[in-house]
A and B are shown apart, each in its own frame.
Chain A
Amino acid sequence: MLVHNTKRLIRFILRRDRIRLLVWLVSIIGLTLIFSVFFGEMFPTQEERDIMAETLKNHAMVAMIGPVYGETYTQDIMYAHEMLLFSIVSVAIMNILFVARHTRKDEELGRLEVVMSQPVGRLANLASTFVVAIGINLIIAVLTGVGIFALNSDTMGLNGSLVYGFSLGMSGLCYAAITALFAQVFETNLGVVGFSFTFMIVSYLVRAAGDLGSEALSYLSPMGVAYRTYPYYKNNWLMIILLVLISLVFAGVALYLNSVRDHGAGLVASKPGRTHATRFLQSPLGLVLRISRTSTIAWLVGIYVLGASYGSVLGDLDSFFETNEMFKLMLPQNADYTMTEQFITLILVILAMCGLVPVLQLVLKIRGEEIRGRNEHIMARAVSRKSYLACYVFSSAILAFIMQFAAVVGLWSSGSAVMDSPLSLGRMLANGLVYMPAALLLLGIAVFFVGCLPKASSAVWVYLGYCFFTEYMGNLLKLPKWTKKLTPYGYTPKLPVDEMKPLNLVLITVIAFVLIWAGFAGFNKRDLEG
């Protein structure tokens, strides 16, 4: 029998993933519910919501979160409009990782072979993965639907909430089925996950194109279909049935392919790679750049898009901020500057810190390489410790600069399109690059840990989180002033609102270099693990 022992495998999957799935479900459902309450409190009056709706009616925002719909922008519609697509993306990510893990990843690692050698059917593994996927997506659909209604029963109806929940869950199912299909096609987990995420991004972009232009295009994307349920307005259950049908088709094809292919094989054989290293790779620096290439490119694109999406709302910010007390509180109050200018300083600081994530990842990679026993190959050859660490430090310092550059260009390119009196790129760059000394300081802390306290290296993430929290939420939560003075961002002049303070920047840079120097000294002296 093809599905013999599927029930046992379902239990096995649940046993293996009980914590993982629980964390995913609690975070997705929890955040959805928390935001449903939060939205009501953030925009209590219709007037504020109408202004918000106007802000969201430009092309950039439609591309990002979908068109504003409904006759009046009521609280429930506003919630569904602003939350649905992002929630679908997070549910899709969960489904992609879950399915890939239980199909191709298990197969690639040889774990599935052990299972298949037991008396289980050929399709039992894929079938059990599907059953669990259906289960978790139904849980998301029902619990978010019922939960939103239960928490906001006076403003958000049951039918609309259920439509919202099911568009979420059934789009999740679509992405699960697609991933299962890719798992039959590609030979490696990396390929499966890569193509599934690419599919997700493309379906997001196709929907954006459809929402901006021809409506029909949106129906080619599960996200476009899910969006067209219009929760709390049209409550179109037909679209949800369509999502289920799409999932069934993909799942059916996946099951068929699974039944006819060899274990371990894919429809697309992985193509052979280079048999020789390029000149570029034949040096320690080349190696460092090569092993961080993919994630660096992804982060560069990501930070550009993040900058551009912040930029797209710069157009009619002033009227928006005037009416919303909460957003006003997030900014330092300075009457000499417009709300937009003050908002730009906040965005630049946030972008600067987001852009540091890949920078710190890159410099901490030398520690990851050490733990995985790969530094040994380099250290046993004619490469000194100093020069190897320098490769990492040098490339991450350059990356810090490039990331901030990409973020500012992103912000400027969309901001200048929507603003009445846009800032020049040069001024915007100057405002953004003022955070470079702070970036160097965090880089210095990371190098210090790598060299002197390697086991505690991840502490630098905690510190970055602290910087982020105090800068982003400090004003809103009315945190005491000294909390900001524990980070380099607290001493960096927030251009253009603050005055330039060259001495501060010089001091931060000096401290950064002292930390980097100490890190090098420590790295030169300590035992390497492996």
Chain B
Amino acid sequence: MVILKTEDLVKKFGNFTALDKVNLEVKSGEVYGFIGPNGAGKTTTIRILLGILQATGGKASIFGMDSWKDAVEIHKRIAYVPGEVNLWSNLTGGEVIDLFVSLRGNNSKSRRDELIEMFDLDPSKKCRTYSKGNRQKVALVAAFASDADLYILDEPTSGLDPLMEKVFQKCVKEVKNEGKSVLLSSHILSEVEKLCDKVSIIRQGRIIESGSLKELRHLTRTDIYVETRQELLGLESIDGVLGLSKKDEGYLVQIESDTIGHVMEYIANFGIVRLESMPITLEELFMRHYEG
């Protein structure tokens, strides 16, 4: 079942095109990674999905309802953590959490105290004394204490320490296990790799890559390290070999993924002693898209 969908979403600010035909589709039970550099359009997309901005063209819908027109109905079933959490300086963290939870309508306060403890937050302090990380914790506690069907998280961990990131990942896995969906926009690729079933990469308002991590990797290249009994010769002239360099006793070889069988056959002639396949990390994938 499709939970969240954008079709050819366009957003213009004056002459500037912030989003140019963005297509996303998050299915029920999926954790969907939304990655891209600063200013690529992640937050703009999310704000259209929340009905805070109105799309210039295309369609955005959540639970099959229109993001703009049915905002209030949609919001009853989603939880949102903004990238930049600004709070009221003279309210305490605890007060803000309670306010946020009760504004969604259906309360689920049982988890609140448990989450406050997990995230190690002091709810009696005024928000003005909170660091960026602590303000994010306030928003995260309010979000995960809510009983929502979809969680929209916009760079939720940018101010958290590694320990708290773990807690966050645990929370995401829990809601996933309950069959809820998550749209996670992030910079931290290791996190996306760990949590997400699918990923879309956005750059300058355009989706340039979409799919499961497996598919994305498949589309690109595979890195292997190989040692052979005989000296490995003539590999650079074989089709599909993108790069070759000597390392220790053997070679690092970069191979275009769809030609891997053919390349391996060639290498086998030299007698393979050791073979390690190193799947491309999301980070490398990401860098290749942005540099290219």
Which residues of A approach B to under 8 Å, CB–CB? 188, 190, 270, 272-277, 281-284, 286-287, 290-291, 294, 372-374, 376-384, 525-528, 530
In the complex, 6 of the A-B residue pairs with CB atoms within 8 angstroms, ordered by the A residue number, are A188-B128, A270-B129, A377-B87, A379-B52, A379-B71, A380-B82
Pick the contact of B52 from A274, A372, A376, A384 — CB < 8 Å? A376
Note all chain A residues with C-beta closer than 8 A to B54: 525-527
Residues of B167-220 whose CB lies within 8 A of A: none
Note all chain A residues with C-beta closer than 8 A to B75: 380-383
- Asked if B2 CB lies within 8 Å of chain A CBs, one says no
Most chain-A CB neighbours within 10 Å: which of B78, B88, B95, B123?
B95
How distant is the Cα of A357 from the Cα of B288 in the complex, in angstroms?
57
In the complex the two chains form, is A282's CB within 8 Å of B102's CB?
A: yes
**Contact A276-B53, Cβ < 8 Å, known A382-B75, A382-B76:** no
Q: Give a binary string over B45-74; 1 marks a CB under 8 Å from any A CB, 0 the rest.
A: 001001111100000000000000001110
Chain A residue at smallest Cβ distance from B92: A273
Pick the contact of A283 from B84, B86, B87, B102 — CB < 8 Å? B102
Note all chain A residues with C-beta closer than 8 A to B103: 282-284, 378, 381-383
Pick the contact of B51 from A190, A282, A379 — CB < 8 Å? A379
Note all chain A residues with C-beta closer than 8 A to B52: 376, 379-380, 527-528, 530
How distant is the Cα of A272 from the Cα of B50 in the complex, in angstroms?
34
Q: How far is the CB of A530 from chain B (nearest CB, A)?
A: 7
How distant is the Cα of A526 from the Cα of B88 in the complex, in angstroms?
24
How distant is the Cα of A169 from the Cα of B162 in the complex, in angstroms?
54
Pick the contact of B53 from A294, A373, A527 — CB < 8 Å? A527
In the complex the two chains form, is A381's CB within 8 Å of B100's CB?
A: yes
Note all chain B residues with C-beta closer than 8 A to A275: 92, 94, 123-124
In the complex the two chains form, is B71's CB within 8 Å of A377's CB?
A: no
Q: What are the 5 closest A-B residue pairs judged by CB atoms, nearest first?
A: A277-B98, A272-B124, A273-B92, A275-B94, A282-B102
In the complex the two chains form, is B104's CB within 8 Å of A382's CB?
A: yes
Chain A residue at smallest Cβ distance from B116: A275
In the complex the two chains form, is A381's CB within 8 Å of B104's CB?
A: yes
Further 16 A-B residue pairs, CB within 8 A, beyond A283-B102, A381-B75, A528-B53: A188-B129, A190-B90, A270-B126, A273-B92, A273-B94, A273-B95, A275-B123, A277-B94, A281-B91, A284-B103, A291-B90, A376-B82, A381-B100, A382-B72, A383-B75, A525-B54
Residues of B4-62 whose CB lies within 8 A of A: 47, 50-54
Chain A residue at smallest Cβ distance from B146: A381
Q: How far is the CB of B10 from chain A (nearest CB, A)?
A: 14
Pick the contact of B98 from A270, A273, A281, A377 — CB < 8 Å? A281
Q: How far is the CB of B235 from chain A (nearest CB, A)?
A: 54
**Contact A274-B92, Cβ < 8 Å, known A283-B102, A380-B80, A381-B75:** yes
Q: How far is the CB of A276 from chain B (nearest CB, A)?
A: 5
Q: How far is the CB of B104 from chain A (nearest CB, A)?
A: 5
Note all chain B residues with C-beta closer than 8 A to A294: 90
Q: Give a binary string over B269-289; 1 marks a CB under 8 Å from any A CB, 0 the rest.
A: 000000000000000000000
Pick the contact of A274 from B95, B100, B105 — CB < 8 Å? B95
Chain B residue at smallest Cβ distance from A383: B103
In the complex the two chains form, is B125's CB within 8 Å of A276's CB?
A: no
In the complex the two chains form, is B124's CB within 8 Å of A274's CB?
A: yes
Pick the contact of A373 from B51, B84, B91 — CB < 8 Å? B84
- Asked if B99 CB lies within 8 Å of chain A CBs, one says yes
In the complex the two chains form, is B51's CB within 8 Å of A281's CB?
A: no
Most chain-B CB neighbours within 10 Å: which of A276, A286, A382?
A382
Note all chain B residues with C-beta closer than 8 A to A190: 90, 128
How distant is the Cα of A286 from the Cα of B97 in the complex, in angstroms?
14
Q: How far is the CB of B252 from chain A (nearest CB, A)?
A: 45
Chain B residue at smallest Cβ distance from A528: B52
**Contact A277-B99, Cβ < 8 Å, known A272-B125, A382-B104:** yes
Note all chain A residues with C-beta closer than 8 A to B76: 382
Note all chain B residues with C-beta closer than 8 A to A378: 103
In the complex the two chains form, is A281's CB within 8 Å of B124's CB?
A: no
**Contact A374-B87, Cβ < 8 Å, known A272-B125, A380-B82, A382-B72:** yes
How distant is the Cα of A528 from the Cα of B46 in the complex, in angstroms?
13
Chain B residue at smallest Cβ distance from A286: B99
In the complex the two chains form, is A372's CB within 8 Å of B98's CB?
A: no
Q: How far is the CB of B47 from chain A (nearest CB, A)?
A: 8
Chain A residue at smallest Cβ distance from B106: A382
Q: How far is the CB of A523 from chain B (nearest CB, A)?
A: 12
How distant is the Cα of A273 from the Cα of B87 in the complex, in angstroms?
15
How distant is the Cα of A355 from the Cα of B105 in the complex, in angstroms?
36
Most chain-A CB neighbours within 10 Å: which of B86, B126, B129?
B86
Q: How far is the CB of A202 from chain B (nearest CB, A)?
A: 23
Q: How far is the CB of B72 from chain A (nearest CB, A)?
A: 5
In the complex the two chains form, is B99's CB within 8 Å of A287's CB?
A: yes
How distant is the Cα of A288 from the Cα of B52 in the complex, in angstroms?
20
Note all chain A residues with C-beta closer than 8 A to B50: 379-380
How distant is the Cα of A409 from the Cα of B84 in the complex, in angstroms?
46
In the complex the two chains form, is B91's CB within 8 Å of A290's CB?
A: yes
Chain B residue at smallest Cβ distance from A271: B124
How distant is the Cα of A417 from the Cα of B70 in the complex, in angstroms?
59
Chain B residue at smallest Cβ distance from A379: B52
**Contact A372-B86, Cβ < 8 Å, known A377-B100, A380-B75:** yes
Q: How far is the CB of A239 from chain B (nearest CB, A)?
A: 40
How distant is the Cα of A374 from the Cα of B138 in the complex, in angstroms?
13
How distant is the Cα of A281 from the Cα of B101 in the complex, in angstroms?
12
Note all chain B residues with C-beta closer than 8 A to A287: 88, 99
Chain A residue at smallest Cβ distance from B113: A275
In the complex the two chains form, is A373's CB within 8 Å of B104's CB?
A: no
Chain B residue at smallest Cβ distance from A290: B91
Note all chain A residues with C-beta closer than 8 A to B125: 272-273
Chain B residue at smallest Cβ distance from A530: B52
Pick the contact of A273 from B80, B97, B124 — CB < 8 Å? B124
Q: How far is the CB of A459 from chain B (nearest CB, A)?
A: 22
Chain B residue at smallest Cβ distance from A386: B72
Chain A residue at smallest Cβ distance from B139: A377
Note all chain A residues with C-beta closer than 8 A to B129: 188, 270
Note all chain B residues with C-beta closer than 8 A to A290: 91
Most chain-B CB neighbours within 10 Å: which of A281, A378, A380, A383?
A380
How distant is the Cα of A376 from the Cα of B75 in the complex, in angstroms?
12
Note all chain B residues with C-beta closer than 8 A to A270: 126, 129
How distant is the Cα of A188 from the Cα of B51 in the complex, in angstroms?
37
Q: How far is the CB of B30 from chain A (nearest CB, A)?
A: 21
Note all chain B residues with C-beta closer than 8 A to A273: 91-92, 94-95, 124-126
How distant is the Cα of A384 from the Cα of B50 in the complex, in angstroms?
12
Chain B residue at smallest Cβ distance from A527: B53
**Contact A274-B88, Cβ < 8 Å, known A282-B102, A380-B75:** no
In the complex the two chains form, is A276's CB within 8 Å of B95's CB?
A: yes
Note all chain A residues with C-beta closer than 8 A to B123: 275-276
Q: How far is the CB of A478 from chain B (nearest CB, A)?
A: 47
In the complex the two chains form, is B95's CB within 8 Å of A382's CB?
A: no
